[in-house]
Structures are given as C-alpha cells and as structure tokens.
Chain A
Amino acid sequence: MLKTGLKTMLLTAVAMTAFAGAASAGKLTIESWRNDDATIWKEKIIPAFQAKHPDITVEFTPTAPKEYNAALNARLEGGTAGDIITCRPFDASLELFNKGHLAGLNDLPSMAGFSDVAKSAWTTDDGKTTFCVPMASVIHGFIYNKDIFAELKLAEPKTEEEFLAVLEAIKKDGKYVPLVLGTNDQWEAATMGFQNIGPNYWKGEKGRKKLIDGTGKLTDPEYVNTFAALAKWAPYMGDGYKAQTYPDSQNLFGLGKGAIYAAGSWDISTFRGQDVPMGAFKAPPPAGSADCYISDHTDIGIGMNAKSANAADAKVFLDWIGSDEFANILGNALPGFFPLSNAKVTLTDDVAQTFVSWRGECKSTIRDSYQILSRGTPNLENEMWNVSAQVLNGTMTPEAAGAQLEDGLKKWYAPHQK
C-alpha cells in the first residue's frame, strides 16, 4: 500500500525536477580516500590506462579519508558503491570480503607479481583468497628542512640521544619549531609517533607477532619505553600543538617554520609542492640497539566490488594495476607511495629514494595494531590514537598508557586473557 502511494508521489516529484540520472554502462567508478591524489589519478594514471584500453572509461571519485570507511560501507550495503574499491589494509577490507562486498581475485594474472608479504594485508586468515591487488606501502621516518639544518650546523641524528640533542639545539636557537607534530587529530600521535619509533623498541615483526600470540603484553617495557620516548618530545613541539591539526602541521613545515617533521613517506609529495629543501632520516634507535627497524606498512590495495555490473572491465583495470607500468607511474607520480609489486621501479625522487634505502639497512615491519588486534571492542587502533595523544599532551603517564591498551585488549582477545 505504501508503495502505490509512493509511486504517485514520485511521479509528481520526478515531473517537477526531471533530474533522474542513470549510470552509463561500461564506465568504471573508483572509490578511494586519496582525495589528495585526485589530480594525479585524473591526469596521469587514468590516461595511461586508457591509452591501452580506449574502450573502458574510468572515473576517480574520492571521498575524504575521514568519511571514507563510513560512506563506503553505507554505499556497499545499499548497493551503490563504485566498481573499483580502494582497500584499507587488513581487517577493514577482510570484513568487506567476508560480507561479500569484495570479490576474490586469485585468478587475476598479475597477482603472480606480488610476494606473499605484499599480499598478506589483503588475504584471508587461511591464506587461500586474496581480494585486493596490493598497491603501495608507506614508510615512516622523519623529514627535515635541509636549510635549517645547514644554518644551525646540525647533522642527521643516528641515535635517540642525538635526536633529542638536535631538538634541544633547535629549541635553543629559538627561530624554528623543533618538531612538527600536532595532537588535535590524534592519529598522527599514534601513527607518526608511536608506530614510527616503536619498532626499534619491540624489535619489529618479532614484537608484533608476540602481541598477537599473547606472549607479549602492551604493559611490557618495550611499549612503555616507546611511550616514555614519545613523552620526551612534548617540549619541542610547536606552540599550541594540542590544537594543531594535520594540515596545520603540513603548513608549518611547508612554510619553512619547522625543522623536523614526524612523517609518513606520503607527505613527500605535499612538501614537493611547497618547495621545501628536504632530507630524511629514519627513526633513531635507542642506545644499545644492535639492529634497526622501520615501519614499512602495506597501506593501499585496490579491489573489485563483488556486485559490480562491469566486472569484466573491472578485472581488466585491476590486472593493469598489477602491471609494471602502473608501478612505475605510481612510484614516481606519487613519491612516498612505494609500489608493492616485484616490478623493478626506478624512483627519481631523492627523498623517496632515501626512505626506500632503509629497507636495505633495517628490518621492515607493519603497524602492530593493524592485523587481528583491532577486531574487537574496544578497538586497539582507536585506543592507541587516544593514549598516544594523551602521552604527548602530558595528561597520561607511559605506564598508564600501556596499561589502558592492555586492559582494552584483555577484554576481548583470548590470547591476552591468560
């Protein structure tokens, strides 16, 4: 009965507005949170694909990162999402696959060009099905302003001690903000702070695996010490860093007002646009470390909407995403996103080269909250944002931070309940 009435209403409404639109067939729509890269997709990546496949049109329609997960989930539930879905790593995408929103991609020819490690972020727990083509990883470290370092006669710090000495020297000089990092948006505190320097403390993959099997606890010294190291940054962060947003930080460093920027490699392209003379150094390990570790995080994959009406075209596109051609375009058009395929990619950006060179010097690991540990409530990643920001704000001790994380994990994760 409702529907009949509704149809009458709709006829009126449609007659009024005459704005009914229909999606044209044969056009692929890409869902992504990388709105920063929209121009590069539109001007470089898509034209390169269409040069090979002129019969397939592709549209890049990003959503702001903050809304991406929510909007995408709602659109997938409603059946209106695009054909191509950009995949967050690990559980967020695994869930989409389990719900039947993402298609399995084992039969995609170019999948052979990826290592198991690269694929691990988008593969089911049993290792049988991969549902997104690995696209890029990002590496954490610190970007510094070369002019400021030259002016103040500073050298790249190699250890944590040197790092703090450099910060102290910049602070004494007084002209520049020593360390550019804000806590308003919280995620930088966890990602550019905790996950950036932490692997040196918890020995990368070894520590991460111990957390997963329950033999390691977040109250262990390696985690508390990471927070303690983080707490030492506070005096060197900019005036009012508690209200400093991520774009504020980018501007602060971009305008040449800050000396060191706690970075993700993806920031390189932002600062290239602002002509900052950049150098980079990796997270300086604490005294007495034999090895060094870097956060080399599998961050972006790209998959297919299982209900796509253009599945055949979508697969052609995804296969191309796995190609050497795409890897080369991506690595150079977006310096700081490092292609995950086995293809040989020559990076032209010197700072991107610096970041990638650390892979040869140190052992790589991914962010420890991403695999399995953020499946329950309270969510470990959210908790890490919260406590890392609080430690930097000086409202929480490192011990309390570790304890809160462990308490949260204990509530739902069996290996930690022993």
Chain B
Amino acid sequence: MADAKAGAGNAIVGMGRGSYAMLLVFFLGPAVVIYTVFSIYPLLATIFNSLYLRQPDGAYIFNGLGNFQTLLTDTTWSAPFWNAFRNNCYFFLIHMLVQNPIGLALAAMLSLPRLRFRATYRTLIFMPTMLSVVIIGFTWQLILSPLWGISKMFLNAFGLGFLFAPWLGQESTALITVSLISVWQFVGIPMILIYTALLAIPEELIDAATVDGLNQFQAFIWVKLPLIFPTIGLVSVLTFVNNFNAFDLIYAMKGALAGPNFSADIMGTLFYRTFFGNQLQLGDLSMGSTIATMMFLIILIGIMCYLFLIQRRMQRYSF
C-alpha cells in the first residue's frame, strides 16, 4: 500500500525497509480499509451513478455530463436547485453571523480567570447539542405550535403578544426560524472548540498584557483573539461543511418538501426528495446522485478556499 521511503527525512535508525512498511500498514491499515470500503467506495458509486440516465424502460444508459447540464440549465431542475443553493447559503450565513459569534462570546466569558460555576455553565449550555435532531425538531415544533401556544403566552407575558406569528409556516420566516433552532442546538460546538483553544493560551501572556494596562476585554481582543484565529478558521469550515450537509432538522420540522413553497428547501432536502422520492414522486437514482455530486463539489470548493486562502495565512499566527 504505502510505499516506504525509509530514513528519508526522519530518523528511524536501524529499521529495515520491510519492517518500516509493516509499521505503516499496522498503523494506517485499519483506518484506511474501513474508510475506503464504507465511505469512499459508496461515494464513488454515487458519482458514477450521476453519469447515467434512467430510461423509461428502467435501463440506465451512459449520459456523460448530461445530467449536470439538465440540473443547471433545464428550469424544471435548475429553479429548485438554485433555490436550494441560495437557501443553503442563507442557512450558512445565519450560522456564521449568529452561532459562531455567540459561541465565541460564551467561550470568552467561560475562560475568564476566576469565574465561578464555570463547569456548570459549560455543561448546561452544551446540553442541547447532545440531543437528537428528531427530539429538538419535535420539541421546538411544540413550543412554536399555535396550538400549544407557549411562545404566544411567553410574548404576552412581556406585553409583546402582537409579535406572535406562525413563524414556521410563513414563507418569509420559515428558513430563518429553522436556522435559529439549528443555531440554538449547535452553538455548543464552536463554544467548546474555542474554549479549549483559549485554555491553551499561556497565562503569562495575559498577565503580561494586563500589566501593560489592558483590561480583560482589550486583552481578549488584542492578545487572545489573534492566537485563536486558527481555531476560528476550523470552526468556520466545520460550520460550512455541516451546513451544506444539513438535512435532519428541516426534514423533521418541515418534511421533504420543506415548505411553504420550498422556502426552507436546502441541498440536503432537495437531494433526499430527488433520490428517494416523495409521496407519488419516484426516486431518481441518476438525478439524485447528480445533486449529491454537486453538493460534494460545493463543499470541496469551500474546503479548498479554506485550505489555500485562510489556513495558509493563519499558520503564521499559530503558536
């Protein structure tokens, strides 16, 4: 498998070429095999399927990139596709603008020296992240349900009853509502990642900064923040990947048609609907795989941007 270049650039003295290869096979073998068989192979099969077109008689013929042309140019497909893509971008934007700043702020507060009940706060705030999307979706649907009326009661308590609206059911608010529920659930992830990074910053650095006359807030902005840029980059790219893979919450709350009028439809729900079908719509292996491949490409482009533009620049700041 991995061709060993014994001794090159690394001093493993007294190890022969053969046993070095054995070493690599031992350490890398299990991970590479499981990963290749259960992850890469199925994905390749999907990409492969996207090159075929289903005929009315049920046979599949090779169609080259024809499915991609259909997806991007035929309005029957392109309109839903771009709609889902646009919604997905909003979904991501809301996470970047709401989830990650809140996560950062919470992590910053939790990492303050001599903060009491730190562990308690951290544990409790992370709790929603632990729960199944099925449960979260269901719970929020109950809370926002006009039938149960919790949210209306709540707004009434503050004299804001007039603000109540069926947020999940309106074209203008459905996507934002679902996004914020997702933010609510997953804010713990950026919080923990950033918090861990903040803890790793040596105390002496902060002490030195405060001696220089900076207050806590200034010390955070000028000393800590630059040091955790790599983590923030990592959080951003994880958010990007998760958001463009998202499916469960919207499916659980709005169904496969992600309505009203597809206003909450994202790539994941579009893929699901196309690939597996809906009530009377039959699953379409070819077009479903084509959408899946497009999702793959979009995510790949995002990751490339991160690797080549952001991470490179950040390496210089990392400690």
Contact = CB atoms under 8 A, between A and B. Distances in A.
Direct touch of chains A and B (CB < 8 A): yes
Interface of A: 2, 5-6, 9, 66, 69-70, 73-74, 88, 90-92, 95, 98-99, 182-187, 238-245, 248, 251-252, 369-370, 374-375, 377-382, 385-386, 389-390, 393, 395-396, 408, 411-412
B144 interface: yes
Given A9-B33, A242-B169, A245-B141, 12 more contacts: A6-B33, A66-B255, A70-B272, A70-B275, A186-B260, A241-B169, A243-B146, A248-B146, A389-B259, A389-B261, A393-B170, A393-B260
Nearest to B272: A70
Interface of B: 29-30, 33-34, 36-37, 41, 58, 76-77, 141, 144-147, 164-171, 254-257, 259-262, 272-273, 275-284, 287
B280 A91 contact: yes
Contact of B146 (A73, A88, A241): A241
Contacts of A88: 279-280
Contact of A244 (B147, B167, B262): B147
Contact of A374 (B146, B272, B280): B280
Nearest to B80: A378
Given A99-B58, A240-B169, A386 B259 contact: yes
A395 B37 CA distance: 48
Contact of A381 (B34, B168, B260, B281): B281
B168 to A, nearest CB: 4
Contacts of A2: 33, 36-37, 41
Contact of A69 (B36, B77, B278, B287): B278
Given A186-B257, A242-B166, A242-B169, A5 B33 contact: yes
Contact of A243 (B166, B262, B273, B279): B166
Contact of B169 (A70, A91, A243, A374): A243
11 contacts: A2-B41, A69-B276, A92-B277, A239-B146, A241-B166, A243-B167, A243-B170, A248-B145, A379-B280, A380-B280, A395-B261
A9 B169 contact: no
Given A238-B146, A248-B145, A184 B281 contact: no
Nearest to A187: B279
A238 B167 CA distance: 15
B283 A252 contact: no
A331 to B, nearest CB: 25
B255 A374 contact: no
A404 to B, nearest CB: 10
Chain A to chain B: the 6 pairs with minimum beta-carbon distance, closest first:
A240-B146, A242-B169, A70-B276, A243-B166, A243-B169, A240-B166
Binding site of A, secondary structure by majority: helix, strand, loop or mixed? helix
A167 to B, nearest CB: 19
A85 to B, nearest CB: 15
Nearest to B276: A70
B84 to A, nearest CB: 14
A66 B254 CA distance: 11
Nearest to A191: B279
A245 B255 CA distance: 10
A129 to B, nearest CB: 16
A381 B259 contact: no
Nearest to B142: A248
Contact of A382 (B33, B147, B166, B281): B281
A379 B146 contact: no
A242 B145 CA distance: 10
A243 B168 contact: yes
Nearest to B285: A77
Most buried by A among B141, B260, B280: B280
A385 to B, nearest CB: 6
B180 to A, nearest CB: 15
Which residue among B171, B277, B284 has the maximum number of chain A CB atoms within 10 Å of its CB?
A: B277
A138 to B, nearest CB: 14
A44 B202 CA distance: 69
Nearest to B32: A5
A393 B168 CA distance: 13
B6 to A, nearest CB: 23
Contacts of A92: 277, 279-280, 282
A239 B41 CA distance: 50
B171 A395 contact: yes
Given A248-B145, A248-B147, A381-B279, A240 B255 contact: no
A238 B169 CA distance: 13
A70 B260 contact: no
B29 A390 contact: no
Contacts of B41: 2
Contacts of A90: 280
Nearest to B281: A379
A366 to B, nearest CB: 12
Given A6-B37, A244-B146, A382 B30 contact: no
A242 B260 contact: yes
B147 A252 contact: yes
Contact of B283 (A70, A238, A375, A411): A70
Among A69, A374, A375, A412: residue with most chain B CB under 10 A: A69
Nearest to A396: B261
A378 B76 CA distance: 6
A73 B167 contact: no
A385 B276 contact: no
B169 A183 contact: yes
Quick one: which of B141, B256, B282 has the most chain A CB within 10 A?
Answer: B282
